[in-house]
Amino acid sequence: MPQNKYQIIRYQALDKCFRNNVRRYFIDDLIEACNEAIYNFSGNSEGVKKRQLYDDIAFMQSENGYNAPVEKDKIGRKVYYFYSDINFTINNQPLTESEAQELKETLVTLNRFKGLPQFEWIESMTTRLEASFEFGEEANQIIEFDQNEFLKGKEFINELYHAVTNKTPLSIVYKSFGNQKETNLEFHPYYLKQYNNRWFVFGRNPVFENITNLALDRLIDINVLEKIFIETDIDFKEYFEDIIGVTFNEKSEPTNIILRIDKSLWPYIETKPIHGSQKIIKKTDDFTDVKLELIPNYELESLILQHGEKITVIEPRNLSDKIQDRIQQLIKKYKCAE
């Protein structure tokens, strides 16, 4: 972490030294105190330079800083630093304009996590901070996250999160899109994942051999089940490495997929790759061919179709045929609607 990231830690360490009316702190003592504070915070042992410390002291004394009453005196040829007012501390000073702006920006980010597991404290904390510093709602007007506030199932996130953490079997009432009847199933939750603004929970239903994937917006009810939790040794970070989205056949193997990207779309695909395995294999003035190593699934098909004529599947043939078939079905529907 760069030195300027430790500014607040250095200011706090210097403030503590300057308030000490028993010991005299020379510049080398102040450097040692700052280094120790940074090491205790981060484990970083990189040394603070004298020039940096002089700049810190000057900032603390300035109107843009804390107006700190830092004085210096000599013993022989050595200079030591102290507060002329031993009751002064930077912690009793109002926020500077830059600190207030940083706090506003932090609150904007924190507000994104309201309602999510282990972040229940955010709502009360941000409310207190907004009231104390009169930030109000204006901070939320400069940034917006891609998050659906009206998405069904969000109310189950907290309960599912704690069930995963505490290895708690659940009885879940579920109603899939393809079934009008509600299903009551035993479920041992392992992992929560968000994709395309929807939440999914992955776990084990003893009825099936493979991992079961449930969409939270299809959950009806959740209750704790008094059973022994079925453990898993799956690393879910690796589990999703070979797919886009959340659905795939666990018995399938990744395959080489070659896509032809139109030149008008390429800047977007180049800066936001379709998948981490994306590699350029050919580039012309009109198109760029990329290779992906993936397990084809519905989400990949949807992503390809999303870009219309600007992406063409070159390989494998079965994926190309499937995309063509979906396009033909779409054309038929439009003809029928005429």
CATH 3.30.1600.10 fits 3-92, yes or no: no
pLDDT value at residue 2: 42
Q: Which residues contact 291 (CB under 8 A, 6 or more apart)?
A: 256, 257, 258, 277, 278, 279, 281
Every domain range in the chain assigned CATH 2.30.30.520: 154-239
Q: Is the dihedral of CA 256, 257, 259, 265 positive or negative?
A: negative
Measured CA to CA in angstroms, residue 301 lies from 71, 238, 320 at distances of 69, 22, 10
Q: Is the dihedral of CA 113, 115, 116, 122 positive or negative?
A: positive
CA–centroid distance for 99 within its chain? 23
CA distance 174 to 176: 6
Instruction: Find the helix or strand (DSSP H, E) in which 191 lies.
Output: strand 183-195
Is residue 321 within 8 A of residue 275, CB to CB? The reply is: no
Strand partners, 237: none
Dump pLDDT digits (tens) for 153-169.
878 888 898 899 889 99
pLDDT value at residue 28: 92
Strand partners, 188: 204
Of the candidates 151, 168, 150, the residue with the CA atom closest to the CA atom of residue 159: 168
In degrees and rounded to multiples of 5, residue 38 shows phi and psi of -65, -40
In degrees and rounded to multiples of 5, residue 271 shows phi and psi of -85, -20
In degrees and rounded to multiples of 5, residue 293 shows phi and psi of -115, 100
CATH 3.40.1710.10 fits 154-239, yes or no: no
pLDDT value at residue 38: 85
Every domain range in the chain assigned CATH 3.30.70: 255-337
Measured CA to CA in angstroms, residue 14 lies from 64, 288, 319 at distances of 17, 56, 64
Whole-prediction pTM? 0.61
CA distance 206 to 230: 9
**Which residue's structure tokens are 């981490």?**
276
Output the tens digit of pLDDT for each of the chain's 338 residues: 344 567 888 998 999 999 998 899 999 999 999 998 888 877 776 678 889 999 999 999 988 888 899 999 998 889 999 999 988 988 876 666 666 666 666 666 666 665 555 555 555 555 555 555 555 554 445 556 666 666 788 788 888 988 998 899 999 999 887 777 888 999 999 999 989 888 999 999 999 988 999 999 999 999 999 999 999 999 998 899 999 999 888 888 999 999 999 999 999 999 999 999 999 999 999 999 999 999 999 999 999 999 999 999 999 999 999 999 999 999 999 988 77
258 burial via Cβ count (<10 Å: 0-12, 13-18, 19+) = middle
Largest CA distance in the chain: 97
Every domain range in the chain assigned CATH 1.10.10.10: 3-92
184 burial via Cβ count (<10 Å: 0-12, 13-18, 19+) = exposed
CA angle 119, 11, 31 (to 5 degrees): 125
pLDDT value at residue 139: 46
| CATH label, 255-337, candidates 3.30.70, 3.30.1460, 1.10.10, 3.30.1360 | 3.30.70
pLDDT value at residue 25: 94
Dump pLDDT digits (tens) for 253-266.
999 999 999 999 99
Dump pLDDT digits (tens) for 75-90.
888 999 999 998 898 8
Record the tokens describing residue 231, joined without a space.
Answer: 């453990």
In degrees and rounded to multiples of 5, residue 160 shows phi and psi of -65, -40
Is residue 173 within 8 A of residue 183, CB to CB? The reply is: yes
